[in-house]
Amino acid sequence: MTSTRTPAAPGPTASDERDRQQRRVGFSQKLGRWDVKLSPYLYISPFFILFVVVGLFPLLYTGVVSVHQWDLLKGKGDFVGFENFSTVLQAPIFWKSVRNTISIFLLSSIPQVILALVIAALLDANLRAKTFWRMGVLVPYVVAPVAVSLIFGQMFADQSGIINQILRNLGFTGIGWHSEVLPSHIAIASMVNFRWTGYNTLIFLAAMQAIPRDLYEAALIDGANRVRQFFSITIPMLRPTIIFVIITSTIGGLQIFDEPRMFDQFGRGGADQQYLTVTNYIYQLGWTNKNFGRAAAVAWLLFLLILAISVVNYLITRRIASEGGAKQKKRKKVSA
């Protein structure tokens, strides 16, 4: 997109005519030339230098650490090959953390996208006080995940929490939101949904508003009601945006750390590791057990998992979204 700029557009260094002019005007010609030649690289260099040092190098060096015995305090030890990987892959706790991560991810991303689409459709109307509603749904975004987790941790408290009390008042028994596997995943996913649904709603809303209104008018003439319009026009037209939201939430969601870490005061993912996520496990291996080699091995495995799920995600979304409305490539760019 951005890389295919029209070459006709004259850059400051572009036109020969201007160069000639500069040659006449400029007194320190050489300096000016260097300025023109090097400045572009100089200006983009901070990002690349920083990315190499704090992004790329650590990511690659994770591979080196993962094939060594490596203690947090004592540093690098013997080369052990894939021992760290095989130990981790045989540990039930690793698989538990993978299960928890995927479960929490599914419970947060799927309802979140559906809810965000519905709320966006509600907002995509000729509302009074538009800005109020839009700002209203975004409020949770400014609350730190740690704070959200403390609040929801209390709301979902097994004994003194508001949610169990309401259930009891309605005649049900309280649910073990902390002690049981699936309920704890639901509680943690609800924190993620709380914080990000509004944000994604606004992304969808922006994309919806870019849909030409005459499509809806035509549908109305054909006798389609609002629900039918939503599924036959809005969803297909939103396809690129939906893919975009799902992919970003996959990359972020599978690295979830804060919410399960803060769900109780111990931060070990529950008594039976029922809500320990992979990133929690990395922390535990590296900083609690001081075993950097194993932590690095798990980091690599998580990297592969993210990659695999992203690909699967992409394939599924492409298929689902392309059913119904196929041909519009034109506006792939509302929100990316």
Longest alpha-carbon distance in the chain: 89
Q: Which is nearer to other proteins, 154 or 328 (CB)?
A: 154
CA distance 109 to 245: 9
For the CA atoms of 48, 54, 56, 62, the dihedral, rounded to the nearest 10 degrees, stands at 170
* Rounded least distance, CB 236 to other proteins, Å: 17
CA nearest 198: which of 126, 118, 252? 118
Half-sphere exposure of 176 (CA within 13 A, CB side): 8
Question: Which residue among 175, 242, 296, 309 contacts other proteins (CB under 8 A)?
Answer: 296
Q: Of all helices (H) and strands (E), which one includes residue 183? A: helix 181-209
Q: Binders of other proteins among 133-152, rule CB under 8 A? A: 133-148, 150-152
Does 77 contact other proteins by CB under 8 A?
no
Binding track, positions 25-64, relative to other proteins; x by CB under 8 A? xx-----x--xxx-xxx-xx-xxx-xx-xxx-xxx-xx-x
SS3 of residue 297 by DSSP: helix
CA distance 334 to 299: 33
* Rounded least distance, CB 268 to other proteins, Å: 12
Q: Residue 291 pairs with which residues in a beta bridge?
A: 71
Does 65 contact other proteins by CB under 8 A?
yes
Q: Binders of other proteins among 99-118, rule CB under 8 A? A: none
Helix 130-138 × helix 181-209 angle, to 10°: 150
Does 23 contact other proteins by CB under 8 A?
no
CB 268 within 8 A of CB 276: yes
171: left (phi over 0), alpha (psi -120 to 50) or beta: left
Does 127 contact other proteins by CB under 8 A?
yes
303: Cβ contacts below 8 Å, ≥ 6 apart: 59
- C-alpha separations of 63 from 52, 72, 76, 257 in Å: 16, 16, 13, 22
Does 123 contact other proteins by CB under 8 A?
yes
Q: Binders of other proteins among 175-214, rule CB under 8 A? A: 194, 198-199, 202-203, 205-206, 209-210, 212-213
Does 220 contact other proteins by CB under 8 A?
no
* Rounded least distance, CB 155 to other proteins, Å: 7
Interface with other proteins: number of residues (CB under 8 A): 124
Does 80 contact other proteins by CB under 8 A?
no
CA nearest 200: which of 266, 119, 133, 259? 119
Q: Which is nearer to other proteins, 235 or 296 (CB)?
A: 296
Q: Which is nearer to other proteins, 312 or 323 (CB)?
A: 312
SS3 of residue 270 by DSSP: coil
CA nearest 101: which of 255, 289, 204, 267? 255
Does 299 contact other proteins by CB under 8 A?
yes
* Rounded least distance, CB 234 to other proteins, Å: 13
* Rounded least distance, CB 44 to other proteins, Å: 4
Does 302 contact other proteins by CB under 8 A?
yes
Does 221 contact other proteins by CB under 8 A?
no
CA distance 36 to 244: 37
Binding track, positions 229-268, relative to other proteins; x by CB under 8 A? ---------------x--xxx-xx-xx-xx--xx--x-x-
Does 289 contact other proteins by CB under 8 A?
no
Binding range to other proteins, per CB under 8 A, among 91-99, 180-188, 229-237, 283-291:
283-291
Q: Which is nearer to other proteins, 41 or 173 (CB)?
A: 41
